[in-house]
Amino acid sequence: MARSRRKWNDLSSGQQTAVLVAGSVEMALTATALVELARRPGDQVRGRKLWWALACFVQPFGPVAFLVWGRRKR
């Protein structure tokens, strides 16, 4: 059974806004987590920085996980 895909223009303006807001939030979370990871010394990160950097691209859980559990208190 073939499934039809909805195109951007098929979405209501509210749905389009929701998609843009969700995408913006994900991008901001990812950027914040990656910048925080890059600036933080390795001894203040729980685990390896490489693994956290890769995990940050697993949306939306990776950036949130790093910001909540991946950082040690200063």
The domain of 18 spans 12-70
Mean pLDDT of the region 41-64 = 94
The total number of structural domains in the chain stands at: 1
What's the pTM? 0.82
Side-chain half-sphere CA neighbours of 47 within 13 A: 13
pLDDT at 72: 87
The 3-class SS string of 14-48 reads HHHHHHHHHHHHHHHHHHHHHHHHHHCCHHHECCC
3-class DSSP state of 71: strand
Rounded CA gap, 72 and 41, in Å? 10
Q: What would the pLDDT profile of 35-44 be if each residue is shown by its tens digit?
A: 999 999 999 9
Higher pLDDT, 5 or 53: 53
Domain assignment of residue 3, yes or no: no
Domain assignment of residue 42, yes or no: yes
Contacts of 48 (CB under 8 A, 6+ apart): none
